[in-house]
Amino acid sequence: MSSVDTFDILTLTDEARKVVLDALAGEESTEGLALWVEVTGTRGSGYAYDLYFSELNLAPEDATVGRDGEISVVIPASSVDRLRGSRLEFASEGEGGLVLVNPNSPTPEEISPGVPSEILAFGVDGPLAVVALRVLDEQVNPAIAAHGGRADLVALDESAKTAYVKLSGGCQGCAMSRMTLSQGIETMLREAIPELSQVLDVTDHASGENPFYAAQ
């Protein structure tokens, strides 16, 4: 493992540092423990993370290790560039908790692996895509969140008026996902964008926890 100054990768605010130290003090034995921070995948348009305590001497050879005050920080090699410049904060709103503010965003390929590059090339920057994103964020996702589901706009072909949507969480691999798409998501999108010609599901349902069909 490489031991470096981690401040160019991840910093902790004073409030976050206190929360981490308090949590560390609650462990049975604090000797040799470090805060591990890693990117575990994507969630929506951002990264998903895991923060936990584990022994410093378990850090892989290629991990980056540094210190923030009294806290040793371990960042696996695959997460270093994805976390560079990040900041761990404490948010007091609601129930409060640690929040990782990351200036880096996943690539379209990371968010939607397996989706053809020609589809991803349409992007989500056009005027119709902006409306579609708002509908998904404000109407669709709050409605399906109760079932642990989420819908994200992967791309929108503005010329063909075609939206490409990916389902995740409880909607990935769910036998009802086709109905959710056609009778729920597509209906809401068409109400906001009457000119929309079709909404296509680009989810890899076969890789869900409970896929309703398996890849042949």
pLDDT on residue 91:
87
Distance between CA 56 and CA 211 in Å, rounded? Answer: 38
> Could you give the strand order of the β-sheet that contains 198-201, starting from the edge strand earlier in sequence?
149-157, 162-169, 198-201
CATH code of 177's domain = 3.30.300.130
104-147 pLDDT, tens per residue? 999 888 888 878 889 999 988 999 999 999 999 998 888 877 77
Q: Over range 41-45, report the average pLDDT.
A: 80
Mean pLDDT of the chain: 83
* 101 and 116 part of one domain: no
Q: What is the pTM of this model?
A: 0.67
Same domain, 115 and 89: no
Same domain, 92 and 125: no
The DSSP result for the chain, as a single string, is -EE--GGGTEEE-HHHHHHHHHHHHTSS--TTEEEEEEEEEEETTEEEEEEEEEEGGG--TT-EEEEETTEEEEE-HHHHHHHTTEEEEEE-STT-EEEEE-S----HHHHSTTS-HHHHTT-S-SHHHHHHHHHIIIIIHHHHGGGTEEEEEEEEETTTTEEEEEEEETTTT-TTHHHIIIIIIHHHHHHH-TT--EEEE---GGGSSS-SS---
Label residue 33 exposed, middle or buried (CB < 10 Å: 0-12, 13-18, 19+).
middle
pLDDT at res. 3: 59
Q: What are phi and psi of 37, to 5 degrees?
A: -130, 125
Q: pLDDT tens, 172-200?
A: 444 444 555 555 788 889 989 999 999 88
My answer on whether 55 and 134 are in the same domain is no
Specify whether 66 is located in the same domain as 141.
no
- Average pLDDT of the residues in 157-178: 72
Task: Please tell me the predicted confidence (pLDDT) of residue 21.
Answer: 94
Domain shared by 125 and 203, yes or no:
yes
Do 71 and 142 lie in a common domain?
Answer: no
Q: If you count them, how many residues does the chain have? A: 216
pLDDT bucket at 202, cuts 50 / 70 / 90? confident
Q: What is the pLDDT of residue 83?
A: 96
Nearest-angstrom CA–CA distance, 67 and 181: 47
Looking at residue 85, what is its pLDDT? 95
**Domain end call among 76, 106, 136:** 106
Asked if residue 75 and residue 145 are part of one domain, the reply reads no
Looking at the fold, whether 12 and 100 belong to one and the same domain comes out as yes
Structure tokens at 49: 């993370």
Q: What percent of the chain has pLDDT over 70?
A: 83
Q: What is the pLDDT of residue 81?
A: 95
104-126 burial code (b ≥16 CB/10 A, e <16) = eebebeebbeebeeebbebebee
% of the chain beyond a pLDDT of 90: 48
Residue 7 has pLDDT above 80, yes or no: no
Residue type, 118: E
Smallest CA-to-CA distance from 121 within 156, 83, 78 is with: 156
Q: What integer is the mean pLDDT of 76-102?
A: 90
Q: What is the pLDDT, as a whole number, of residue 178?
A: 54
pLDDT exceeds 50 at position 169:
yes
Question: Do 56 and 102 fall within a single domain?
Answer: yes
69 shares its domain with 115 = no
Q: 7 lies in which domain range?
A: 2-106
